């Protein structure tokens, strides 16, 4: 008898749950027609998608711009966003390996679960050159190396153009009705970005060849574009915090060279880089590396305006006390 | 006078002067003539002027039009130039075909293979510490706690398949081996099928290498038999609500379980006596920094103590995490994980009521350092007497699962047991770990004792990400 009652209540609660679900399915089906739902792993990709898709898209970024994209909590609330996504944009090159796959599996959304599905876009396939692709066998004694290459490519604004084009192509595939709209916006974005790149280039020209030290190997694409020379890293190996002896050795090496700038993302510990800069006479800059990395950085343009602006003004004032 | 002077100046004669004067007078006083001679002419001039003006105006208009045209042309040229530039930018940056790039990938369809070794050293202040869970350190000394081998990968567009094997020196266990559906199903359904850790609370889903302490929490050790991993099919529904709600229901066969809570019934044909497990999980992203997860679980199935004897296991779980994401403190976090379990078990003698709970608070104070405190206990209304002392303990109840009677597995609890643990963990990288733990065990059915542990953990290969 007891058993029967338990089963009855369980059955009833399941029926109730199913009913509520069907109800909500109907409700959500109605507004699902309107816009293409785009979910991006990091906010910089969301910013580019917004530039291309305008009001035809509903864009959500998972990680915050001020957060280390290597270490993001795989919150179940992200599963909800992925469940409804028409397009998932991610950095690739294993940047999100620690948190995105488990979310994709939980999404129950065949639009994005398959790597070659139209709704699954690995942005690293869009850029012309991936830097630091290992040419020899790698293992973890080298630290947390990315075996597919360095994934911080969005810090070269020229890659912004490639990625924008790839996103536009994919949007046209998913939403062919608005193809011309995406084309127009892509052209407009590329025009604005090209003009801006020229402007940033001009600003950076006087500082070509500047020797810099960065916290993580996350600025190689930026340095490649800006013509900076990365002569050292505060992390002895990717993902491994520096020991005091390593810091001392780095300071000694930096004093022999002419390092003017120490760069660290805002999410890394700030004390060590600031100390190293102080001891070596370099300037320390805590910079955002993603859109949303700081208040007021809402577009891809804002991001480089901030990075280039702060670097050039720091370098211009360098040595003036 | 003026006329005269003027005439004189022009060199005309007197007669002529008169005539001229006359003509002038005539002309002056005759308005009609005036009009005929001068008036018509001024009209014409006016007309001409007007024409001229009109011409000028039209010329101006034409000029403006031309200017406009020119401007437009220039604009168009500029636009074309810009478009060309855009096109150039787009084609220049388009990824060139990269035949070499793919070759650099080790393209293979092998599954991800990973292996995790957990070794531990232990020191107990007693000669015979209580044996709680098979993979906890048993005695003073150093031992292999667990070697976990995982094979994971996507089978086809519809399924992925994950297998985990737990090895000890003399034990081989299939910890999990199940398929997960990847496709879109009605009602946001996801199916898992195979041998898997059931969705019952939180700790049951956490593999040993992911747990925060060296030893397993008491309720999980006693009620779940370390982990509840029957063979079955599980249906997980994502409920379309504004927050994350997942409803899970599974039907399982209790055969082969390590747990004493559930075991196959003698009446093997009774579908009602299979193991049914239900779980609801709610997740609230209260702020970007603070998340809260609340869940409820229910499992019911035969317990093998006699025909149609059944165990009901109820669970409630809570997980709260605070991780301030902004700026350089982003690696510091605090989380609280707590579970409560209540078990009702029908036995030939009477129905047992046992319950237990644990709560653990972990503080990650630096990127590579964790510290934590755990409090766990189990309690029962009807203690089971330890087998060695059972003689003469009439008021105590002992229930032994029938088919393993020789091994003397006990379904009920021995009494109250209370435990505290402190741990400190250092993770040199994400792939290795060193952990120290102190534990104080205080059971009411025997003397209390302390334990010191040191644990080493190493992991190789791509191991699937863990759920939040």
Domains of chain A: 34-197 (3.40.50.1980), 203-316 (3.40.50.1980)
Please tell me the total number of residues recorded for chain A in this structure: 321
Q: Looking at chain A, which residue has its C-alpha nearest residue B94?
A: A162
Residue A188, min C-alpha distance to chain B (Å): 8
Comparing CA positions, the residue from B436, B346, B356, B439 lying closest to residue B397 is B346
Comparing CA positions, the residue from A161, A163, A168, A162 lying closest to residue A183 is A168
φ, ψ (nearest 5 deg) of residue B327: 60, -155
Comparing CA positions, the residue from A2, A6, A26 lying closest to residue A14 is A6
Q: What DSSP assignment string belongs to B231-295?
A: EEEEEEEEEESSSEEEEEEEEEE-TT-S-SS----S-TT-GGGSEEEEEEEEEEE-SSSEEEEEE
Average pLDDT over residues B200-225: 94
Whole-number mean pLDDT of chain B?
Answer: 84
Q: Is B430 on the interface with A (CB under 8 A)?
A: yes
> Which positions in chain B touch A241 (Cβ < 8 Å)?
367-368
Flag if A110 and B182 touch (Cβ within 8 Å).
yes
Average pLDDT over residues B89-115: 65
> Which positions in chain A touch B249 (Cβ < 8 Å)?
14
Which B-chain residues 84-103 have CB contacts (< 8 A) with chain A? 85-86, 89-90, 93-96, 101
pLDDT at position A15 is 55
Tens-place pLDDT, residues B355-365: 999 999 999 99
How far apart are alpha carbons B303 and B306 in whole angstroms? 8
Q: Is B108 on the interface with A (CB under 8 A)?
A: no
How far apart are alpha carbons A283 and A17 in whole angstroms? 60
Cα-based angle B343, B349, B351 (whole degrees, multiple of 5): 25
Is residue B155 within 8 Å of residue B161, measured between CB atoms? yes
Residue B438, min C-alpha distance to chain A (Å): 28
Cα-based angle B444, B445, B451 (whole degrees, multiple of 5): 75
φ, ψ (nearest 5 deg) of residue A282: -90, 170
CA distances for B367 relative to A142, A272, B35, B429, angstroms = 19, 14, 109, 9
How far apart are alpha carbons B316 and B342 in whole angstroms? 9
Which residue, among A108, A163, A292, would best test binding to B if mutated, counting the most B CBs under 10 Å from its CB?
A108
Residue A190, min C-alpha distance to chain B (Å): 6
Cα-based angle B180, B182, B185 (whole degrees, multiple of 5): 105
pLDDT at position B14 is 64
CA distances for A113 relative to A83, B110, B152, B248, B372, angstroms = 10, 19, 16, 21, 37
Q: Which tokens belong to B146?
A: 């667990």
- Eight-class DSSP state of A76: H
Would you say residue A230 has pLDDT above 90? yes
> Which positions in chain A touch B85 (Cβ < 8 Å)?
191, 194
Burial of residue B300, with CB atoms counted within 10 A of its CB: 0-12 exposed, 13-18 middle, 19 or more buried: buried
Would you say residue A255 has pLDDT above 70? yes
pLDDT at position A1 is 45
Q: Looking at chain B, which residue has its C-alpha nearest residue A18?
A: B187
pLDDT at position B348 is 81
Out of B101, B180, B247, the one facing A105 most closely (by C-beta) is B180
Q: Is the dihedral of CA B1, B3, B7, B10 positive or negative?
A: positive
- Eight-class DSSP state of A287: E
pLDDT band at A126 (very low <50, low <70, confident <90, very high): very high
Tens-place pLDDT, residues A100-123: 999 999 999 999 998 889 999 999
> Which positions in chain A touch B327 (Cβ < 8 Å)?
66, 266-267, 270
> Which positions in chain B touch A165 (Cβ < 8 Å)?
90, 93-94
How far apart are alpha carbons B246 and A17 in whole angstroms? 10
Tens-place pLDDT, residues A53-78: 999 999 999 999 988 898 899 999 99
Which B-chain residues 3-62 have CB contacts (< 8 A) with chain A? none
Q: Looking at chain B, which residue has its C-alpha nearest residue A10?
A: B278
Would you say residue B321 has pLDDT above 90? yes
Q: Is B464 on the interface with A (CB under 8 A)?
A: yes
Q: Is B184 on the interface with A (CB under 8 A)?
A: yes
Q: Looking at chain A, which residue has its C-alpha nearest residue B95?
A: A128
Would you say residue B394 has pLDDT above 60? no
> Which positions in chain B touch A127 (Cβ < 8 Å)?
93, 95
Out of A7, A194, A241, the one facing B367 most closely (by C-beta) is A241
pLDDT at position B326 is 76
Q: Which tokens belong to B320?
A: 């709260």
User: Which residues are CB-contacts of A121 (< 8 A; sequence separation ≥ 6)?
Assistant: A87, A88, A89, A90, A166, A167, A170
* pTM as predicted: 0.82
Comparing CA positions, the residue from A53, A12, A233 lying closest to residue A223 is A233
Which residue, among A105, A134, A169, A194, would best test binding to B if mutated, counting the most B CBs under 10 Å from its CB?
A105
Flag if A240 and B429 touch (Cβ within 8 Å).
yes
φ, ψ (nearest 5 deg) of residue A37: -95, 120
pLDDT at position B392 is 45
- Give bridge partners of residue A280 from the DSSP assignment: none
Q: Provide the 3-class DSSP secondary structure of residue A132.
A: coil
B21 alpha-carbon distance from chain centroid: 115
Q: Is the dihedral of CA B389, B393, B396, B402 positive or negative?
A: positive
Q: Is B240 on the interface with A (CB under 8 A)?
A: yes
Rama region for B400: left / alpha / beta (φ>0; ψ in -120 to 50; rest): beta
- Give bridge partners of residue B354 from the DSSP assignment: B343, B380
> Which positions in chain A touch B83 (Cβ < 8 Å)?
187
> Which positions in chain A touch B89 (Cβ < 8 Å)?
161, 190, 194
Is residue B298 within 8 Å of residue B277, measured between CB atoms? yes
Q: Is B300 on the interface with A (CB under 8 A)?
A: yes
Q: Looking at chain B, which residue has its C-alpha nearest residue A6?
A: B300
pLDDT band at B7 (very low <50, low <70, confident <90, very high): very low
Flag if B157 and A110 touch (Cβ within 8 Å).
yes
B191 alpha-carbon distance from chain centroid: 19
Out of A66, A74, A268, the one facing B467 most closely (by C-beta) is A74
Q: Is B115 on the interface with A (CB under 8 A)?
A: no
Q: Is B249 on the interface with A (CB under 8 A)?
A: yes
CA distances for B355 relative to A83, A144, B254, B366, angstroms = 37, 44, 21, 36
How far apart are alpha carbons B250 and B191 in whole angstroms? 9
Q: Which tokens belong to B142?
A: 């150093």
Average pLDDT over residues A226-252: 93
Tens-place pLDDT, residues B427-441: 998 899 999 999 999
How far apart are alpha carbons A210 and A297 in whole angstroms? 25
> Which positions in chain A touch B182 (Cβ < 8 Å)?
105, 108, 110, 113-114
Dmax (CA) for chain A in angstroms is 88
Flag if B93 and A162 touch (Cβ within 8 Å).
yes
Q: Is B271 on the interface with A (CB under 8 A)?
A: no
Count residue pairs from A and B with Cβ separation < 8 A. 165
**ipTM passes above 0.90:** no
Out of B291, B293, B465, the one facing A101 most closely (by C-beta) is B465
> Which positions in chain B touch A144 (Cβ < 8 Å)?
429-430
Which residue, among B91, B196, B234, B240, would best test binding to A if mutated, counting the most A CBs under 10 Å from its CB?
B240
Q: Is B293 on the interface with A (CB under 8 A)?
A: yes
Average pLDDT over residues B37-47: 72
Element (H, E) at A147: none
Comparing CA positions, the residue from A100, A137, A139 lying closest to residue A120 is A100
> Which positions in chain A touch B288 (Cβ < 8 Å)?
64
pLDDT at position A30 is 47
> Which positions in chain B touch A4 (Cβ < 8 Å)?
none
Q: What DSSP assignment string belongs to A267-285?
A: TS-SHHHHHHHHHHTPEEE
Would you say residue B395 has pLDDT above 60? no
Q: Provide the 3-class DSSP secondary structure of residue B413.
A: coil
Q: Provide the 3-class DSSP secondary structure of residue A41.
A: coil
Q: SS3 breakdown of chain A: % helix, strand, coil, rounded to 5?
A: 55, 10, 35
Cα-based angle B80, B83, B89 (whole degrees, multiple of 5): 145
Average pLDDT over residues B383-389: 59
């Amino acid at each position: 008898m007891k058993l029967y009652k338990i089963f009855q209540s369980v059955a009833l609660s399941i029926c109730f749950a199913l009913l509520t679900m069907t109800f909500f399915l109907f409700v959500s089906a109605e507004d699902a027609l309107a816009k293409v739902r785009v979910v991006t792993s990091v906010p910089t990709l969301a910013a580019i998608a917004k530039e291309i898709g305008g009001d035809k898209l509903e864009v959500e970024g998972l990680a915050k711009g001020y957060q280390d994209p290597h270490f993001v909590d795989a919150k179940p609330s992200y599963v909800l966003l992925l469940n409804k996504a028409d397009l998932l944009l991610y950095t690739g090159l294993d940047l999100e390996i620690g948190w995105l796959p488990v979310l994709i599996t939980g999404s129950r959304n065949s639009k994005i679960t398959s790597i070659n599905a139209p709704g699954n876009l690995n942005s690293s396939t869009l850029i012309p050159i991936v830097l630091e692709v290992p040419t020899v066998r790698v293992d973890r004694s080298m630290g947390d190396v990315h075996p597919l290459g360095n994934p911080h490519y969005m810090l070269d604004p020229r890659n912004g153009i490639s990625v924008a084009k790839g996103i536009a192509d994919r949007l046209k595939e998913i939403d062919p009705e608005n193809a011309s709209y995406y084309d127009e916006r892509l052209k407009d974005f590329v025009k604005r970005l090209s003009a801006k790149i020229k402007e940033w280039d001009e600003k950076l020209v006087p500082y070509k060849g500047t020797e810099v030290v960065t916290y993580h190997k996350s600025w190689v694409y930026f340095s490649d574009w800006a013509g900076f020379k990365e002569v050292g890293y505060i992390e002895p190996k990717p993902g491994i915090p520096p020991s005091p002896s390593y810091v001392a050795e780095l300071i000694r090496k930096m004093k022999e060279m002419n390092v003017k700038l120490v760069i660290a993302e805002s999410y890394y510990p700030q004390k060590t880089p600031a100390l190293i800069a102080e001891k070596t006479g370099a300037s320390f800059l805590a910079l955002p590396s993603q859109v949303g990395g700081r208040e007021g950085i809402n577009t891809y343009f804002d991001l480089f305006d901030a990075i280039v602006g702060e670097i050039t003004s720091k370098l211009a004032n360098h040595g003036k006390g | 006078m003026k006329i005269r002077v003027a005439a004189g100046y022009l060199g005309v004669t007197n007669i002529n002067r008169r005539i001229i004067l006359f003509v002038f007078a005539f002309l002056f006083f005759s308005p009609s003539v005036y009009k005929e001679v001068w008036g018509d002419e001024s009209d014409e001039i006016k007309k001409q002027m007007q024409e001229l003006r009109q011409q000028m105006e039209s010329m101006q208009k034409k000029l403006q039009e031309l200017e406009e045209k020119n401007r437009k042309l220039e604009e168009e040229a500029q636009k074309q130039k810009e478009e060309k530039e855009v096109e150039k930018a787009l084609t220049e940056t388009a990824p060139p075909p990269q035949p070499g790039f793919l070759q650099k990938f080790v393209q293979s369809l092998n599954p991800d293979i990973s292996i995790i070794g957990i070794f531990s050293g232990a020191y107990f202040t007693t000669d015979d510490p209580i044996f709680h869970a098979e993979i906890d350190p048993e005695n003073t000394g150093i031992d292999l706690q667990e070697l976990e081998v995982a094979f994971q990968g996507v089978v086809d567009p519809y399924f992925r398949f994950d297998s985990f094997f737990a090895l000890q020196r003399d034990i081989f266990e299939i910890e999990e081996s199940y398929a997960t559906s990847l496709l879109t199903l009605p009602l946001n359904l996801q199916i898992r099928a195979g041998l898997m850790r059931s969705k019952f609370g939180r700790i049951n889903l956490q593999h040993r290498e992911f747990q925060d302490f060296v030893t397993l929490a008491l309720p999980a050790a006693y009620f779940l038999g370390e982990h509840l991993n029957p063979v079955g099919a599980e249906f997980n529904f994502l409920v379309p609500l504004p927050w994350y709600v997942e409803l899970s229901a599974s039907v399982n066969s209790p055969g082969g379980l390590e747990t004493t809570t559930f075991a196959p019934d003698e009446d093997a044909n009774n579908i009602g006596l299979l193991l049914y497990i239900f779980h609801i999980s709610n997740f609230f992203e209260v702020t970007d920094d603070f998340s809260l997860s609340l869940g409820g679980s229910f499992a019911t199935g035969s317990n093998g103590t006699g025909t149609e004897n059944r165990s009901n296991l109820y669970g409630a779980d809570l997980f709260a995490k605070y991780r301030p994401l902004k700026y350089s403190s982003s690696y510091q976090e605090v989380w609280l994980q707590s579970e409560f379990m209540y078990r009702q078990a029908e036995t030939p003698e009477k129905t047992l009521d046992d319950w237990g709970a644990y709560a653990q608070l972990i503080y990650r104070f630096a990127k590579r350092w964790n510290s934590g405190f755990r409090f766990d206990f189990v309690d029962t209304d009807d203690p089971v007497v330890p087998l060695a002392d059972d003689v003469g303990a009439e008021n105590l109840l002992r229930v032994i699962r029938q088919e393993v009677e020789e091994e003397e597995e006990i379904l009920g609890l021995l009494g109250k047991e209370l435990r505290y643990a402190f741990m400190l963990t250092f993770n040199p990288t994400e792939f290795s770990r060193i952990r120290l733990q102190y534990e104080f065990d205080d059971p009411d059915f025997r003397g209390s004792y302390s334990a010191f542990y040191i644990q080493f953990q190493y992991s190789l290969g791509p191991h699937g990400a863990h759920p939040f």
